Chain A
């Protein structure tokens, strides 16, 4: 099956289509899938970064919420405390105005002794920013109108101003806690007591909020660290965070955390790495750089991608870092899988294609084999291809055809055998008759010669005797002399006619021998012109009897032939003889030469011509042009001439040609092969008829 050309054609066609389609689908889909997957991985990496950014923002919001909550709570607390202190103020000072100095003294002493919370307290200032009461002895009674906090802001005058304007309010400034040197932010709430001419102030330090927030932030960062360590981008990609001061906050490698990364050098470029990272912040394209691998430390040839986002509130740089190779890995794996699936599909397709091609080609092959056997003659061969398809129909029709063919051939064989037997029988009979005819001709000719010999011989003897014996005796007897002369004339007629008869017999025998193939051929070189002259000499006496006739043999090429000169000459004689015999005027033209690689000897005349119906048969033995009236026009000749011509040219492998029309003369041509030329040079030397 695999060597069948049809199978190879069909299967290779299917294979080419399948392979081409596969290659096309693969070449279109795989790069697309790979780039799509890579884009997806990249997108995923950025999404992780966004998620972390969101987490950080959440922490920020939580801290903000806490701070707001804590402030609100502190404000509430301050308001409550001041309300309580106000009650105390009104109770001690009463409605008396101005209050008694003793009452005031007592109130101030009470307030100075009262602390709450984390050493928080009440103090009182007059409208000139002079401290009327304060738990700190250093401040008690001092003028604080010019006192500024660590930020350079006035502390007391703004309080007095807000209190005089709005009766109560909050103010924040930096102050040192009681018993501590370090200032911290303090939130104060105050109320104006215009009837007493002072402002009551209390405040709490907000450092505990800051501390709490720091603690919360620390916890959040710890949680974030845990979270980030569990995050993997692709295989080994990770997220890390450093702050604006280029200190590493969160990194999968704990050794790096807390370290200053400002001096970190990009080994591949030799430049500082952090400016490049900062430059790439919030750029969706990220930063591509070369780095080493944990499995291949120190070899900075592996491409990495980094995306960064800057969180302005925390002033953090959140960065993700991943090996590009790992981002591509998914795409690669997908591509490989597609390839494997594609190859499997290809193998299956080719296998199915093989089966399909076999299914199609098998019956055709069987049909072809069967047809081949039939062609070689095995008519018992039948195609076994079945099925309801066209091939099955073809096989069925073919089998029926072979069946019919066998029937016909068998019939035909029988008929041919029958006919052949009949023909063989008829042919044998014909051969027998032909042989009989030849033998008859031969023997009749022989039998004719014997009496002819006597006639001719005795006539000669009589003539001789007359010459020798009787002629001298008639010298004195004129009458007897005249009689004798007449006898001599008659004898001459007898001799002439018997010579003619002898010649006829010779020709008959010649024709018989030539026709039966028994003639002796004596091929010798001779000049064609010589043979033509001999032939002309033979017929010229007869031609001279017809005054209107002229013999022309000018166009006979001077070539030398190697053939039987006698037969060639005889053939020319026969042609000339016929021409002279059947014409009374015009030219009898003998032409001979080379034309188209053949030797052509032709004789033409302007005689009575040959009717078309006769032209086929004039070459047959004893055949003459049918005379319209046999009684008026007696047969001229024995009808052997053209038969001899035909026999001679056939012997040399040539042919005869006849052109003629009734009343318009005839041209008979003897065509002989060029090999009869004596030598090759004759071909060049010979004058062709066309010339």
Chain B
């Protein structure tokens, strides 16, 4: 398993929050964190870095989360990338739309940092 985690969110504070949540994994498990500030940049990062898990915001400039997820799923080489959507709405329709676009999981904003940490640990198979 590739120990790279990609964080894609246009909000700098959210990116920082997730980065700080996961920084222990960087130290303890040699996990590499990669951040992107919009959908286009994020997709590029996924393609070049091939992360094991991606925390993907929905509402973003250039490409939104659904579009990014869809593009990832259309690339067979990225089939093993686990996509976790960060949705603010929390409604069934949004969740379904995300899952249809190719997301594997979702986390509703505002989220508990432990939830994000647990997902990353579980997906990457870390202790």
Contact = CB atoms under 8 A, between A and B. Distances in A.
B88 A449 contact: yes
Interface in B1-59: 11, 13-14, 17, 20-21, 59
Contact of B88 (A450, A455, A464): A450
Contact of B110 (A461, A498, A509, A520): A498
B59 to A, nearest CB: 7
Interface residues of A, number: 22
The size class of the interface chain B forms with chain A is 10 to 19
Given A446-B89, A450-B14, A454-B13, A460 B59 contact: no
Contacts of B112: 456-457, 460
Interface string B101-127: 000000001111110000000000000
A276 B92 CA distance: 129
A458 B17 contact: yes
A462 B91 CA distance: 29
Contacts of A455: 110
Given A450-B14, A520-B93, A460 B88 contact: no
Which of B11, B17, B109, B110 has the most CB atoms of chain A within a 10 A radius of its CB?
B110
A522 interface: yes
B59 A506 contact: no
- Per DSSP, chain A at the interface is helix
B48 to A, nearest CB: 27
B61 interface: no
Nearest to A464: B113
Interface in A511-530: 513, 518, 520, 522
Contacts of A458: 13, 17, 20
Given A450-B11, A450-B14, A457 B88 contact: no
A555 interface: no
A452 interface: yes
Nearest to A498: B110
B93 A457 contact: no
A446 B109 CA distance: 9
A453 interface: yes
A457 B17 contact: yes
Contacts of A457: 14, 17, 21, 110-113
Given A461-B17, A461-B20, A461-B21, A453 B90 contact: no
Contact of B14 (A454, A460, A461, A522): A454
Contacts of B93: 518, 520
A452 B110 contact: yes
21 contacts: A446-B59, A450-B11, A450-B13, A450-B14, A450-B88, A450-B109, A452-B110, A453-B17, A453-B88, A453-B109, A453-B111, A454-B13, A456-B112, A457-B110, A457-B113, A460-B112, A461-B21, A461-B113, A502-B110, A520-B91, A520-B93
Interface of B: 11, 13-14, 17, 20-21, 59, 88-93, 109-114
Given A450-B13, A457-B111, A460-B114, 5 more contacts: A446-B88, A450-B11, A457-B17, A460-B112, A520-B93
Interface of A: 446, 449-458, 460-461, 464, 498, 502, 506, 509, 513, 518, 520, 522
